[in-house]
Amino acid sequence: QSVLTQPPSVSAAPGQKVTISCSGSSSNIGNNYVSWYQHLPGTAPKLLIYDNNKRPSGIPDRFSGSKSGTSATLGITGLQTGDEADFYCGIWDSSLSAGVFGGGTKLTVL
């Protein structure tokens, strides 16, 4: 079990908005930047958000990130069927010098 807790699954209809939470502690999320990744099984994971709320070039603004205290949230608006994937939060824990990923959340667009 990861120290970063995500809901196993979320779902919403096309066009709607969904949020995915990532809960940790003061020693991990509280003291480090959070990233978010999208992963379709059998493909390369893709970075969606870094430094809590920044989007890499090419990532649409339908994807957003936020962090408050020991929790982080990924938001996706204007859901599309092509958004169905597994989503992971992750950090580089500078005190442990180790990477940490959440357990992952499966998004279903109904």
38 contributes a contact to other proteins by CB under 8 A: no
CA–CA separation, 110 vs 100, rounded Å? Answer: 30
Q: How far is CA 54 from CA 16, 43, 61, 64, 96, in A?
A: 22, 23, 10, 8, 24
Task: Out of 23, 90, 107, 109, name the contact with other proteins by CB under 8 A.
Answer: 90
Q: Which of 3, 12, 59, 100 binds other proteins (CB under 8 A)?
A: 100
- Residue 3 found at the interface with other proteins (CB under 8 A): no
Asked if 30 touches other proteins (CB under 8 A), the answer is no
Q: Is the CB of 13 or the CB of 57 nearer to other proteins?
A: 57
Q: Does 51 bind other proteins (CB under 8 A)?
A: yes
Residue 8, phi-psi category: left (phi > 0), alpha (psi -120 to 50), beta (remainder): alpha
- Residue closer to other proteins by CB (options 50, 77) is 50
- CB atoms under 10 Å from CB of 106, counted, come to 15
**Token pair for residue 69?**
């205290």
Residues that bind other proteins (CB under 8 A): 2, 33, 35, 37, 39, 43-47, 50-51, 54, 56, 86, 88, 90-92, 97-104
